Amino acid sequence: MSKQIKISAPKGTHDILPTDVHIWQYVEKNIYDICQKFGYNEIRFPVFEQTELFNRGVGDTTDVVQKEMYTFNDKGDRSITLRPEGTASTVRSYLENNLFNTPAPVKLFYIITCYRYERPQAGRYREFRQFGVENFGSSNPLTDAEVISLAMNLLNKLGIEDLTLYINSIGCSSCRKKYNELLKSYLQMHSSELCDLCNDRVGRNPLRVLDCKNPECHDVICDAPTVDTVLCDDCKNHFEVLKQALDSIGVKYTVDNTLVRGLDYYTKTVFEIKSSDLGAQSTVCGGGRYDGLVEQLGGSSTPGIGFSVGLERLIDILTKKNLLPKQNDSVDLFVASIGDNASQAAFKLVNDLRNSGVSAEFDHLERSVKAQLKYADKTNAGYSTVLGDDEISSGVISVKNMNSGEVRDIKIEDLTAENLNF
Ligand code: ATP
Ligand code: MG
């Protein structure tokens, strides 16, 4: 027989094992609680979409679309892409399902896997998870403040305090146009000091240059004219009200005039939340306003704002800061048994207990009583008992608290979650 080669998970992906899943459930529960408090409803959409959605929705001059998408033709020769983010899909669904006919603003959130063909490294994967929020129908800067405070609230509720929130306004489409011109002529004057990729970007999308991580471009970027110099009165005022609103609820921020974000669709407010615990991949949350996106994807002009949080990075911070929840006990009661008769009775008792709301387990592997109790201990059962012929005839069992060692006799018919609490 030929030896089979072991199959490993694709590069850049990772399993979430039963020993860690409680961490994810804990984060997800906090997300559900906060979204409920803020009035955001969950939306779920497909893992894959027509490629065109991301070309138009994320923007075809972005790194995501140019280099990072998992795109393939399906058997019907349609171009399909695994979602690299959630905003474009949310807008597609909002339009396709007429959610614009529901009361505005439409407040949605999602927890999704995303796919980007990137070089895997700490905090950077090919399959990763995002929590995202999108709000459609309000151009009010107080909505921007609400969205930002939702993100900060989540992070603070999980115990993370030392984060930096960076905010900026990149203006409406006419401010951006002005700024693009200004930036383009500045960058063209300094083309010899820029990397090849950035020189290529100057013509297509000069804002992208500001996002370049190449040290070669650093000085030119630092001295570039900033967007605040060209903002119109309306955009300036929008940004002022946002800052006042954040001040009024005690959310601290740093204005960073060079912050432009990686995706094409942003207008006015952009923001990022960074953690010094994350090293090179320091951004845990990124978002902004996208007042032109719904129209760009075929809807009527509708303002919108949202963000997404990288959940692997978030959990990385929780791990480094020792803020992880304890693993749950596996079952409340392990019912060990002696002999064939009792093993049938244990199986039935466990079934009855589960039906009455007690989590319970029996021995599946016909082990000795000693081995069964060792298993109960290793799997963190809260309580254990041994069922034999005597217990079956008397209807009374001895239940042991596996942590304290305390033992109590309990009538089988009286076994409930409440009296398993000693
Ligand atoms: P970066 O600059 O780190 O590449 P980005 O601007 O591409 O981030 P967004 O598209 O704004 O990221 O995605 C939102 C969040 O998703 C990021 O702030 C980050 O926390 C997370 N994220 C993005 N790409 C990855 C990835 N490849 N692996 C893990 N998390 C990621
Ligand atoms: Mg990226």
pLDDT tens per residue across all 422 residues of the chain: 567 889 999 999 999 999 999 999 999 999 999 999 999 999 999 999 999 999 999 988 788 998 999 999 999 999 999 999 999 999 999 999 999 999 999 999 999 999 999 999 999 999 999 999 999 999 999 999 999 999 999 999 999 988 999 999 999 989 988 999 999 999 999 999 999 989 988 988 888 888 888 899 999 999 999 999 999 999 999 999 999 999 999 999 999 988 987 667 789 999 999 998 888 888 999 999 999 999 999 999 999 999 999 999 999 999 999 999 987 767 899 999 999 999 999 999 999 999 999 999 999 999 999 999 999 999 999 999 999 999 999 999 999 999 999 999 999 999 988 888 89
Pocket test for ligand 1, best of 83, 155, 284, 308 (most atoms within 8 A of CB): 308
Please state which CATH number belongs to domain 18-172+232-320. 3.30.930.10
Res 419: pLDDT: 84
Res 100: pLDDT: 97
CA-nearest residue for atom 20, ligand 1, is: 310
274 within ligand 1 shell (Cβ under 6 A): no
CA-nearest residue for atom 23, ligand 1, is: 310
User: What's the 271 CA to ligand 2 centre distance in angstroms?
Assistant: 15
CA-nearest residue for atom 15, ligand 1, is: 310
13 within ligand 1 shell (Cβ under 6 A): no
Report the CATH superfamily, name and number, of domain 333-414: Anticodon-binding domain (3.40.50.800)
User: What's the 263 CA to ligand 2 centre distance in angstroms?
Assistant: 9
Res 172: pLDDT: 93
Q: Which atom of ligand 1 is nearest to the CA of 126?
A: 27
User: What's the 266 CA to ligand 2 centre distance in angstroms?
Assistant: 15
Residue ranges of domains in the chain:
18-172+232-320, 333-414
281 within ligand 1 shell (Cβ under 6 A): yes
CA-nearest residue for atom 26, ligand 1, is: 124
Res 62: pLDDT: 83
Ligand showing the shortest atom-to-Cα distance for residue 84: 1
Peptide bond into 105 cis (omega under 30): yes
Same fold, 18-172+232-320 and 333-414: no
Res 263: pLDDT: 67
Check: pTM over 0.75? Answer yes or no.
yes
User: What's the 16 CA to ligand 2 centre distance in angstroms?
Assistant: 22
Ligand showing the shortest atom-to-Cα distance for residue 119: 1
Q: Which atom of ligand 1 is nearest to the CA of 68?
A: 27
Res 1: pLDDT: 56
79-82 β-sheet, strand order: 48-50, 79-82, 70-73
User: What's the 310 CA to ligand 1 centre distance in angstroms?
Assistant: 6
Ligand showing the shortest atom-to-Cα distance for residue 123: 1
User: What's the 321 CA to ligand 2 centre distance in angstroms?
Assistant: 24
3-state secondary structure the chain: CCCCCCCCCCCCCCCCCCCCHHHHHHHHHHHHHHHHHHCCEECCCCCEEEHHHHHHHHHCCCHHHHHHCEEEECCCCCEEEECCCCHHHHHHHHHHCCHHHCCCCEEEEEEEEEECCCCCECCECCEEEEEEEEEECCCCHHHHHHHHHHHHHHHHHCCCCCEEEEEEECCCHHHHHHHHHHHHHHHHHCHHHCCHHHHHHHHHCHHHHHHCCCHHHHHHHHCCCCHHHCCCHHHHHHHHHHHHHHHHCCCCCEECCCCCCCCCCCEEEEEEEEECCCCCCCEEEEEEECCCHHHHCCCCCCCEEEEEEEHHHHHHHHHHCCCCCCCCCCCCEEEEECHHHHHHHHHHHHHHHHHCCCCEEECCCCCCHHHHHHHHHHCCCCEEEEECHHHHHHCEEEEEECCCCCEEEEEHHHCCCHHHCC
Res 226: pLDDT: 92
293 within ligand 1 shell (Cβ under 6 A): no
Res 212: pLDDT: 85
